[in-house]
Amino acid sequence: MTMSPRPALCGAHQTLSAAEVAARIAQLAASLRALRPRARMLGVIADNSPEWIVVDLAAQRAGVSLVPLPGFFTLAQMQHAVDTTGMDALFCAMPEMALALGFERKTLEGAELPWFRRDAQPVAVPVGTSKITFTSGTTGAPKGVCLSAMQQRAVAVALVQATSHIRIERHLSLLPLSVLLENVAGVTAPRLALATCCVPPLAEVGVLGATEFDPLICLDAIERWQADSVILLPQMLLALTAALEAGVPRPSTLRFAAVGGAKVAPALIARARAVGLPAYEGYGLSECASVVALNVPGADRPGSVGRALSHVDVRINDNHEIEVAQSDLLGYLGVEARASKWLHTGDLGRIDEDGFLYIDGRYKHQLITSFGRNVAPEWPEAELISTAVIAQAAVFGEARPRLCAVIVPRSHAVTDAAIDAAVRVANHQLPDYAQIAHWIRAPEAFSARNGLATPNRRVRRDAVWKHYRARLESLYETNSDVRAFL
């Protein structure tokens, strides 16, 4: 009996063969090409679905730069991305969002997602830019990273080489397709390996709205979709591990769970594997089109992020900072091209004698939460200090699901209730991932006298952390929740 080929894409209500996907891509690409020289810069705001992938691949075919916009961005951050890229076309599943961004509803043959247009002046981008991915933003203005199709494919090819022995046939997307890690490692790589990409709406895999993750729904989805592989953020791995430890049945088909976006404790990897989750930590950068290094079965060292993949070179400079070299690094939107082929990552690390890479911390103070969101602490600190009752603030949260803060009120007369209200006001100006979830009150101001600030009142962050570390860490223990948050 002849076996039918496995499907290429599966969504909530449709299953597409490779031929059907190719036909949709060809039709939409033809429509996009017919609009040229207009429709130079194309955005997409939509939930996970096969059509999202069709848009991505059709844009590549038509030679149109694509800008995926994450749903967790604020309207202001989305507007920044729209304006700085000169975006003049948009696929958007939320018409009210498109209208708020200055677009008008139009029609386009072959488009299954709602189509919008606006007049915009073109913006200069590096030659060969196929995609512009915006980081979650260390400040209110996210940074646009320009990527070529060749660069993305090089990562995917290296991932296929590194994981070929796992024999992945079905990959289930648990992260938004707008997140570069899922886009490249969860779609481009499986497609090259002729695996099926399963891309149901995020709510059906446990990502509920912008902030909540349900591990029970997720585990059920992995089993229902018969997934061989998934990509997880550390906080998702923690929630899934806790659910399995509580007795929830483990997925029967899962062979590989890549974990990235932020540092993972070796103890968590051990816990996950003990309950049947095949968790393997990796490391990547948007500038390098996602994955740089990865642990895999047979080449695995918990505590490290694995060996560098075949498409990159990695070294440690004299400042113990990790540097990465990859062909076709295009750079950032609006920034002149770098003179050196070596990219400074901002991460401190080391490479052992067997080639495994270890991440030891951040070169600067930028935080990366356990959901992989980049936050410069100065950003939420500025919002806190802008309120009427907070004089000083120091924000922390490296590798934690939510941020915490040490707060100095403007006077001893300020009550804790007033501080709590001020924190809520500040949070209203911030996206979920940069909001303050927990805080403690400092008994005295940060000053040069107590060593917590410089003579010009600049907070000495390391000193504040050392002084208040025990109290801050206890916040996460006393405020724990059985649910994880995105």
What CATH number does the domain containing 112 carry? Answer: 3.40.50.980
Q: Does residue 232 share a domain with residue 109?
A: no
Final residue belonging to a domain, choices 123, 138, 160: 123
Query: Is 139 among the domain residues?
Result: no
Percent of the chain beyond pLDDT 70?
93
- Strand pairing report for 129-134 and 144-148: antiparallel
Q: Does residue 207 share a domain with residue 281?
A: yes
Confidence of residue 150 (pLDDT cuts 50, 70, 90): very high
Q: Does residue 406 share a domain with residue 343?
A: no
Q: Does residue 416 share a domain with residue 358?
A: no
Contact 322, 314 (CB under 8 A): yes
Residue 482 above 60 pLDDT?
no
Tally of structural domains, the chain = 3
Q: Does residue 234 share a domain with residue 167?
A: yes
Q: Does residue 357 share a domain with residue 430?
A: no
How far is the C-alpha of 223 from the C-alpha of 367, rounded, in Å? 34
Q: Does residue 293 share a domain with residue 162?
A: yes
Backbone angles phi, psi at 160, to 5 degrees: -60, -40
Query: Is 143 among the domain residues?
Result: no
Q: Report pLDDT for 348.
A: 83
Q: Report pLDDT for 209.
A: 65
Contact 405, 436 (CB under 8 A): yes
Q: Which domain holds residue 197?
A: 149-368
What are the C-alpha distances in Å from 66 to residues 202, 305, 312, 405? 21, 30, 24, 37
Helices 18-34, 50-62: inter-axial angle, 10-degree rounding: 50
Provide the Cα torsion 374, 377, 381, 383; round to 10°.
-20
| CATH (domain of 217) | 3.40.50.12780
Mean pLDDT of 407-412: 92
Mean pLDDT of 239-244: 92
Final residue belonging to a domain, choices 345, 368, 391: 368
Q: Does residue 294 share a domain with residue 247?
A: yes
Q: Does residue 309 share a domain with residue 192?
A: yes
Confidence of residue 97 (pLDDT cuts 50, 70, 90): very high
Query: Is 72 among the domain residues?
Result: yes
Q: Report pLDDT for 335.
A: 81
pTM: 0.82
Contact 114, 91 (CB under 8 A): yes
| CATH (domain of 468) | 3.30.300.30
Q: Does residue 319 share a domain with residue 250?
A: yes
Query: Is 442 among the domain residues?
Result: yes
More confident position, 60 or 410: 60
What are the C-alpha distances in Å from 72 to residues 25, 191, 200, 217? 27, 26, 18, 20
Q: Which amino acid, residue 324?
A: V
Among the residue ranges 150-164, 173-187, 208-222, the one predicted with the least confidence is 208-222
Query: Is 232 among the domain residues?
Result: yes
Query: Is 353 among the domain residues?
Result: yes
Query: Is 1 among the domain residues?
Result: no
Q: Report pLDDT for 376.
A: 77
Query: Is 473 among the domain residues?
Result: yes
pLDDT digits (tens, 9 = 90+) for 122-135: 999 998 999 999 87
Final residue belonging to a domain, choices 368, 397, 418: 368
Residue 6 above 80 pLDDT?
yes
Residue 390 above 80 pLDDT?
yes
Confidence of residue 268 (pLDDT cuts 50, 70, 90): confident
Confidence of residue 137 (pLDDT cuts 50, 70, 90): low
How far is the C-alpha of 288 from the C-alpha of 231, rounded, in Å? 18
Q: Does residue 302 share a domain with residue 279?
A: yes
How far is the C-alpha of 283 from the C-alpha of 358, rounded, in Å? 9
pLDDT digits (tens, 9 = 90+) for 355-371: 999 987 777 777 889 88
Mean pLDDT of 367-395: 87
What are the C-alpha distances in Å from 431 to residues 20, 74, 188, 301, 379? 38, 6, 29, 35, 11
Q: Does residue 381 share a domain with residue 353?
A: no
